[in-house]
Structure 1
């Protein structure tokens, strides 16, 4: 198969689609990187850590906001992967465009995060447990924002493919792995979402809740989805013996179902 020539008018729309795919995947990776490293591993902040008002200081509200943030990143990643699939015919030979736009998306995410959410809206800072939060904001802004925009500019100036199909597959794999890792349960979350099998009786549900010493926070009108406050996570396996088919305390599941309950 002949290499795709970027000067060929017929491939320009595909390259634009590839560029948008890379940009959206870069934005999603920026969000996943932020959520994994800063929200979960280092636990330096939550999305709404500095929002004033007592209701916003509730850890459940903080986790809800983080969960909704991860949902947004998932949506952006899905759109990016869809566009990558649409441009698959030029992905191998146009991988320089893909990687440059991905670096741009990653850098733009961190620049916007710092400028808008750190300094203008003051939702959070990179580190809250320091006497000089501006230093960490600026360090993050330069290393993961400006440096990646510069990398995108450098890649765009070059010509020819870099790694062909391997680089394209690596980027797609990174997004597919980053999403689930970002949805891992935060260490300070006591909320557990329980999805029961169809036909599970109320007696079975309440027996399961009693078995884990759970406190009911919310329940779907159909009785198939429950939000429980469970202090001892080692007990949650008992819920499967009482009709549950999925038990999760990931930020994504907590945010998704709590958002649904708030709207209902």
Structure 2
């Protein structure tokens, strides 16, 4: 019973770090997928489409570097949590979905529509692409929030069981 108590105490003490590790990893991972699939493989757009191809390539390179730094930073935090026996899968996955969904929603609304630095795709009816992009982002955020809420409920139940067992 003592090891279970320590495990939940570690999780509780590092709950925010688990959440932020997930958010950082999710943000970086979804940005990496966006960059790899839509920018490099499909050639649908560049990060910044309002200039020359050379500027677009440089902007893609900077965006790719950002995505990798965020992904590696999230994994570094997750590895540190695992070393401390405080890694919390449900909290991390909730954060991962919130971070990924937040990036995608920001990209789809701010960058695509408000700033107009690029669109998902050009020379097609963009509405279906926008709907899929933004609705999937909202779904990721909602599922992530539900996982985080569930993790916090599990934590309260576990703390109550430990207190009642004492």
Q: Normalising TM by the smaller chain, what interval?
A: 0.7 to 0.9
The alignment partner of 1:47 has SS state of coil
Unaligned runs of at least 5 residues, structure 2: 155-166
Aligned counterpart, 1:72: 66
Q: For residues 121-146 of structure 1, give each alpha carbon's deviation from its aligned partner in whole angstroms, at most 9, with x where no partner exists.
A: 1001111130x223312221112x10
Give the strand-richer structure, 1 or 2: 1
Q: For residues 67-113 of structure 1, give each alpha carbon's deviation from its aligned partner in whole angstroms, at most 9, with x where no partner exists.
A: 0101111221222122112211111xx10001110011110000111
Cα distance, 1:19 vs. partner?
A: 1.0
Give the helix-richer structure, 1 or 2: 2
Cα distance, 1:11 vs. partner?
A: 4.1
Aligned counterpart, 1:140: 133
Unaligned runs of at least 5 residues, structure 1: 161-264
User: Greater RCO between the two (CA within 8 Å, min separation 6)?
Assistant: 2
Aligned counterpart, 1:14: 14
- Picking from 119, 130, 136, the partner of 1:125 is 119
- Picking from 86, 93, 96, the partner of 1:90 is 86
Distance between the aligned counterparts of 2:116 and 2:36, measured in 1? 21
User: Cα RMSD (Å) of the superposition?
Assistant: 2.0
TM-score where L is the length of structure 1 = 0.52
Aligned counterpart, 2:33: 33
The alignment partner of 1:31 has SS state of helix
Cα distance, 1:61 vs. partner?
A: 1.6
For these two proteins, the number of residue pairs brought into alignment is 148
TM-score where L is the length of structure 2 = 0.81
Distance between the aligned counterparts of 1:44 and 1:158, measured in 2? 38
